[in-house]
Structure 1
């Protein structure tokens, strides 16, 4: 009973453009963005370090003021009572350093006032320097004036006897308290600034991590999929015939040799069927090459449906096919070949309402112990195929030793 097999349209290959430009642009954009964010993290970290250094310097200088005020006070007092010139020099030196430090700490404030009418110092710091209860700036000026006066007019102070000079009380009490408050304020503001910068740095770092995650899912993963698809397409094109979807000659020869070596190792039988379409040129000449291509596709589907999962089918020429049958002797190979021939002959290839009869000729050969390469088996099957075609076509022939 004849059966009609409807033609299905040829599967089109996956079209993938060369990925080099896509990959270059994707990498450039994504890595540039990461680089910018990384640079921002670096700048934030550098800013944190800079702020820490600057804050530490201000704290150190403001802390020196406490020591310098006590030093200037003590050496001045020693000079008053002993007249030791070295004490006078040390007191003068300490007082000068105290004055220079004070000018340094307020320098940014004064420059800012002169240029923008805005103070760099915080309101809290300005209050410590200029407002009650500490008025550090005024007390530094008062202390400087008192110490200079004592150093110049030593006799007046020495005559006072045991009465403690006023600058000593100032250095030990309100001026020291003001300096302590200034140091504490510098420490607090420095820590606050560093904390703010660290927060910004952490935010940027989180953005970098999130960006990497987003890029991994929405850029790199699609890119990898695209490249993998492209690689799979290249792999398929390298091993499979584009028209039939079967293995090509190169891939078949490699696989067949592997099966052949395995059959030698395990002493298992191995057979080959060679076949081609009868009067294929007549089909091309009568119905056109497009119909010929569809006929090849039709035969390919018939072969694929007829084979076991372990068998290997390939298109090795225009209308020429080869089938590798592992663990199959001559008898089983002949039965398989006849099944294929009968199935093709009893089916009808229909295209555009035309029923085109198609038959095939087949040749069968099995591996011998003398064979050293699968090519010998294939050549014998090809010889048997020639015998089928010479004796009338639509036949199966077994190579006779």
Structure 2
């Protein structure tokens, strides 16, 4: 083995646990696209992934987190505060920066936090030590999962089985970018900017329409039926399980290329524009489908811009809208909790009538 390869393998072995490479995942294009667009623009609002058991939902979500470049955080800060972006700082760091203090930083992997089904509200939001606050006048905060997930990804497997109250808290934090904990008149607020990813099996029930609507995108995945593709997936997984570091080395170039594309898209995103007539067509589609509220319009505009940025364009094309609009709208058509989510055929028919006219 040459010296270069030895170095790569050595670096890879420093990882606590090897993660299956994102670029090695075969099929499931809807899920992969939805995740990519959400990491390019977290303001899309997260993604709900529904599909059969054993279709690689968890593997893909962990793979996208492992693919992302390291982020700079303030050293010893429990909220992963950004050293220069005011909106991503905790109050303590804001005070330090305001005083002109030297704020040491370090690079960390993008946080990937799993929320267990049995989690309590205190575990999710964090807790305040009331006794210490009352006796010593010191606000002592024990951070929860929302603090740890700041500037990263919060993954909830079987989100459709999670208590609605907790889902509401997660969605509120994801939408506002902040988490507020209040106990006995004492309040602590901290940044909680994360990509919320929920997954589940539709056989175990769907989320209520009111909660489902607040996820930016909805991806459906199905078990692959084509024999040759199933064989390829099994071979890929077996290769990784038998020798993960060799597999990671094999896909290193593709991983690096995709990582560069994501960073470039994030930097390009703010300059991407969408013409007025295309915005009107998006709203016309939403109106024709009787989508409640304006969340569908907003998310589709954001997703189309992210898709254009990913494809190195400064202006949204009509094909960018066609590529993302089903992911953004299909879950917003369900009005009755007893209804099933449209597979996308209804959205596709309206899109063909309006966008092709």
- Structure with bigger RCO (C-alpha 8 Å, 6+ apart): 2
Does TM, normalized by the shorter one, top 0.5? no
Higher strand share: 2
Structure 1 or 2, whichever has the larger Rg, is 1
TM-score (norm 2): 0.20
Higher helix share: 1
TM-score (norm 1): 0.19
